[in-house]
Amino acid sequence: MSDLKDDKSSNYEPESRKKAEFSDWLSALQRYVKDTQVTFLDLSDRDLTGDQCEKVLEIVGTSAVTKLNLGGNSLHSKALQLLKTTELQELDLKGCSMAADCFIQLLTILKDTRITRLHSINGCNADANANAIFKMSSNDVEKLKDSLAKCCLETLSINRISSIPQLIQALPLNLITNLHVENISEEQWPSFFHSLNRSIKSLSLSAPIRGYNMHLFDSKLEILAAETLESLKIHSNTSITTVFLNELKHSKIAHLEINLNYLPGSHLSYSHLESCLKSGAIKFLSLASISCDLSRDDWACFTGNLKESSVETLLLKFCKLQDEQGEQLMDGLKGSKVSKLDLSFNLLQTRTAEAFSRTLKDTNLTEVNFLGNRLPIKALEIMGNSIVPSKLKSIKIYVAAEPGEERIGYIGDCFSHFLENTRNSQLTSVGVSSNCMEPLSVKKFSRSLANSTITHLNLASNFLEDAAMYLKDNLVLSAITHLNLSDTSLKDDGVEILTQCLGNTKIIDLDLSANLVTNRGAVALARCLKSTKLISLNVEFNRIGLGGLKFLASHAENTFITTFKADSLGNEWIWPIDKVVWGNRILVHRLVSFFKLIRPENCAETFNFDRAIIDDDIPKFLEECFKFYKTVIDQPSAISVISQEENLSHGKNECVALLMEDFPRQFAEFVSSRIEADVAEHVAILARADELALNKIVEHLLLCRPIYIIDEENEILHPVVYRLLLKYKMPLCNLDVEPDGLKKILKFFTDNPELEGALETVNLLSIIK
């Protein structure tokens, strides 16, 4: 593949080949949904035509898929009609392209489907749809309203409908319990609020107002008091007042987001949130980019009430917080339930770092984000010393060099000391993106990765062009499983260096997006894939051509890479990659499904092999066991895949012991004690395990000697068994008990040359003798 071209002309493919690849893609899709019985299918942004979507929906109609994302594709009338034949309950059409009459048809046929959750209802070809709806007569609107009233919609997302006044009147808002609305006009508000379901559970309003109507919400505060309302998200609008915030104390809202709300003239302050904090219901609170009064008393009122609140996640991004607020916040976190804190992109400096260090051990914080602040480099030392006695597991941090600290490598030294100081802590995830780290800093920083407990490392948006050589050796010695190297100016040389070590690392998730990698780097990466433990790979926004992407895809086949992100060069690349990913997901599904079938309930119990025997088909059971174990030992990421699977209680270390030690031993014991077979059949099982190079299973089966005896009086084993005992360097007999055992075996086969394998055994034993 050294002749792969990087220019755009190499991305062109004949139309006939595209059609053939689409046909193969459809076949792969059909196998995937059939073999895995998957319930969620994401086919967004595949540039599918209406005819192609029709073919897809034919397959979906015979599958177990209940959730489908077709966003960014095209739909026509025949394709939409097929929705009636599916079991779909959730449909996402964000950014779809369809004619106006098709859009109306979609709304009309909903009553004949099982769809209860519809997203981005008007994100599809908005202008055409707007004109079509706008021109409908009052009678047509009523007909549409009657039709929609008969559908089963519970969740609805609608956007860009400010120019479609009749649509609000037609939508069955009185039935919706989960509603997301974007860009609704001020004139539509009365009708919108009047129609809302009083049993609504989740309400999200984004950029709904034109102008500054400060009291629009105040007249409909009964919505907030609804006992069923659990989630309220209000983004990019100006409709929040103190009356509104005070009324929150009567609600049962557990998830509250008030983001990007600029409130000129409202005199809103954080103290007005006191009542909703004291309500005790809110567990998730986001106030990102909110413009509020930051006076000391008001902020102290807010932070002081955190202790009495139920808030577990607190997001305060882009709030212009300074050290005074940072210090008060850290004091307020002591004894609170807050475990996740996002303070990114504020104005925090040294005093906040010191306050964080003093109070951390007295908080419940497990995740904290300090990216985009003004923390000095010395904050790394201040904060690092406080992490060991705390519960902190994840930190994202950005530091700014002060005069005299700009020298090359200095920031690397500081981050290295930071990691050393946290070595005995619970910290497993470190994000140091956008820290102006250059190769020498990476060299110093990476030394601390060796033998550390860090599993997630984000180095994105640093300058690492020539730093791969420094990372290489230390990654092998590290515990890192998730590595983000996006936007680091990485070129082909760097990728080639990384590929030399990837197979010896624990990395399962690798992000190389937004770099300068070409086909040459893609080829190097492709050739090492099968030796790695990778499950997820991202090479988006590089300079890889169609040939390089296809080469990558071909080498990812029959691995456990089930997430593969790459640049969109049209369907020419998406289809081959989809085929590979779906095939890999089938492998993963089979592996995990078989493990679930036979797994012990806990480490003290044995594998339940009986559950894997269906209709007394012993040969099929044995082959499934062999296939399962061969996958485990051949696929570097198999154990990671099993240990990460949802609903499995076994951790990775437990899985390693279970699969590498317990499985072969317990399987051999099960075969010898539970499988009713004659000697020849047991020998065939042993030979098959040897043929597949399942060495540990063979060794344990060889310990079950009684099942291979062909002469009870002399306790002689089948000739194949002796050959394998020699191959695996195991004793042929117990010479301590029977010193002449070898002579006895040799004499038996010499006297019975007609036995299959007798002469071969005699020759082998003669050499030993």
Backbone φ and ψ for 338, nearest 5 degrees, come out as -65, 120
3-state secondary structure of 597: helix
Residues 698-714 pLDDT 10s: 999 999 999 999 999 88
Residues 176-223 pLDDT 10s: 889 888 766 666 666 777 777 777 888 887 765 444 444 455 555 566
715, 744 Cβ separation under 8 angstroms:
no
Q: Which helix (H) or strand (E) holds 645?
A: none
Q: What is the pLDDT of residue 72?
A: 87
Q: What is the pLDDT of residue 188?
A: 67
Residue 39 has, within 13 A of its CA and on its CB side, a CA count of 3
Q: Is the pLDDT of residue 454 over 90?
A: yes
Residues 719-762 pLDDT 10s: 999 999 999 999 998 888 888 888 899 999 999 999 888 898 88
> Where would I find the beta strands (DSSP E) of 418-566?
429-431, 456-458, 482-484, 509-511, 536-538, 563-565
- The model's pTM is 0.88
Q: What is the pLDDT of residue 7?
A: 47
Q: Which residue has the higher pLDDT, 106 or 260?
A: 106
Q: What is the pLDDT of residue 707?
A: 95
- Percent of the chain residues topping a pLDDT of 70: 86
Q: Which two tokens stand for residue 126?
A: 């908005």
Q: Which residue has the higher pLDDT, 246 or 172?
A: 172
Q: What is the pLDDT of residue 99?
A: 74
Taking phi first (over 0 means left), then psi (-120 to 50 degrees means alpha), and beta for anything else, what does residue 729 get?
left
167, 122 Cβ separation under 8 angstroms:
yes
Which residue from 242, 201, 186, 198 is spatially nearest to 218, judged by alpha carbons?
242
Q: Is the pLDDT of residue 345 over 90?
A: yes
Q: Would you kindly state where each structural domain of the chain is located, as residue ranges?
A: 25-197
CA distance 561 to 578: 11
Q: Which two tokens stand for residue 687?
A: 């030979």
Range in 171-180, 257-266, 541-550, 720-729 with the lowest mean pLDDT? 257-266
Q: Which two tokens stand for residue 220?
A: 């409909």
Q: Give the pLDDT band of residue 262 (cuts 50, 70, 90).
A: low
Q: Give the pLDDT band of residue 294 (cuts 50, 70, 90).
A: low
Q: Is the pLDDT of residue 124 over 70?
A: no
Q: What is the pLDDT of residue 207?
A: 63
CATH number of 25-197: 3.80.10.10
Q: Is the pLDDT of residue 84 over 70?
A: yes
Q: What is the pLDDT of residue 132?
A: 43
Residues 687-698 pLDDT 10s: 999 999 999 999
Q: Is the pLDDT of residue 367 over 60?
A: yes
3-state secondary structure of 240: coil
Q: What is the pLDDT of residue 163?
A: 47
Sign of CA dihedral 263, 265, 270, 271: negative
